Amino acid sequence: MSRDTGTHAVLSDFLGTHTVIVVDDVRKSFGNVKAVRGVSFRAEDGKITGLLGPNGAGKSTTLRILYTLLKPDSGTASVNQHDVLNSPVAARSTMGVLPDPAGIYPRLTARENIAYYGRLQGLDGDRLDKQVESVIELLDLSDFADRRTKGFSHGQRSKVALARALVHEPHNVLLDEPSTGLDVMATRALRNVIRQLRDQRKCVLFSSHVMQEVAALCDAIVIIDKGKVVATGTPDEIRAHTNKDNLEDAFVAAIGSAEGLE
């Protein structure tokens, strides 16, 4: 458990890890609703960081601030040292984002959907073709890559959306509830891709309200509840901090109830 993130960052540098996503006391309200009330955390290279919290805890809002769709009312956030308020375009260019929902274009083929994003990320020519082919392979899309995506299953659409987010080999990968609605096989495939990204020393940040998923995947966990961070650390640290052997019990202890979690 390291509430003192400053010390944690120094320790990370010493161990050869790098903090690439920094969120510092970010707040955001919509009218009278305080969606995020002072969230701070860091996500590092070569690690999978999970934002865990019940529905409505402020996970999506936090991610949207990171990929600069929303502006924080106060606090700062930066990605690869690009401040999200001052240089949003530079910040976005370091990221691959899978929002929720992540709709694709039904009249375009899977390959065209992916290539469109590749082009908007600055790829073209042979490099574009190569990259598109490589994500099609990575996500096992070859069988239906050249079909129009109208009529694709939810799992197929999710794969196309993820491939699209990864086509430019982003350094940071942000996934908002990526496994929602996926069947077992699709979820397994998704987890494998996330682990591969970690092994390529990328920074993966994803949100989930599913405890097992976070427990199974994450190197670092940020537990959010009611717009605030209630615990951060490795799964072991969280277990130790809450004095619970079982991670599920630890989560419940951290949040105070199991409401909204699975």
Partner 1 sequence: MMRSPLIVFRKEILDNLRDRRTLWSALVFGPLFGPVLFAMLINIQLDRALSKIDEPLELPVSGAEFAPNLIQFLQESNTTILPAPPSAEDAVKARLHDVVLVIPDSYAERFRDGEPAVVRLVADRSNNEAQRQLARARGLLARYSNKIGAMRLQVRGVSPLVSHPIVVEDIDVSTPQGRSVLVLGIMTYFVLFAMLSGGMPMAIDTTAGERERGSLEPLLALPARRPQILAGKLAATCLFMTLSLMITLAAFAISLNFVQLEKLGMSANFGPDVAVKVFLIAWPFVLLGGGLMTFVATFTKSYKEAQTYLTAVLLVPTIPIIFASIYEVQAKLELMAIPSLSQHLLITELLKGNELNPAWVAVSVGSTLLFGLVLAFLAAKRYESEKILG
Q: Which residues bind partner 1 (CB under 8 A)?
A: 67-71, 89-90, 92-93, 95, 97-99, 101-108, 112, 116-117, 119-122, 124, 148, 161, 164-165
By C-beta, is 18 or 148 nearer to partner 1? 148
CA distance 188 to 204: 17
Task: Give the angle 160-163-167 at the CA atoms, nearest 5°.
Answer: 140
Q: Shortest Cβ distance from residue 33 to partner 1 (Å)?
A: 14
- Spatial neighbors of 127 by CB under 8 A, at least 6 apart, are none
Q: Shortest Cβ distance from residue 122 to partner 1 (Å)?
A: 6
By C-beta, is 55 or 246 nearer to partner 1? 55
By C-beta, is 105 or 246 nearer to partner 1? 105
Cβ neighbours, 10 Å, residue 3: 12
Q: Shortest Cβ distance from residue 70 to partner 1 (Å)?
A: 5
Q: Shortest Cβ distance from residue 188 to partner 1 (Å)?
A: 24
Q: Single out the residue of 45, 39, 31 nearest to residue 79, CA to CA.
A: 45
By C-beta, is 112 or 133 nearer to partner 1? 112
DSSP 84-127: TTT-HHHHHHTEEEE-SS----TTSBHHHHHHHHHHHTT--HHH
Q: Shortest Cβ distance from residue 152 to partner 1 (Å)?
A: 13
Burial of residue 101 (CB within 10 Å: 0-12, 13-18, 19+) is exposed
DSSP strand pairing (95-98 vs 82-83): unpaired
Cβ neighbours, 10 Å, residue 228: 16
By C-beta, is 148 or 226 nearer to partner 1? 148
By C-beta, is 108 or 210 nearer to partner 1? 108
By C-beta, is 115 or 231 nearer to partner 1? 115
Q: Shortest Cβ distance from residue 11 to partner 1 (Å)?
A: 31
DSSP 28-62: EEETTEEEEEEEEEEEETTEEEEEE--TTSSHHHH
Q: Shortest Cβ distance from residue 154 to partner 1 (Å)?
A: 12
Full strand arrangement of the beta sheet holding 172-176: 95-98, 172-176, 203-208, 47-52, 220-225, 228-233
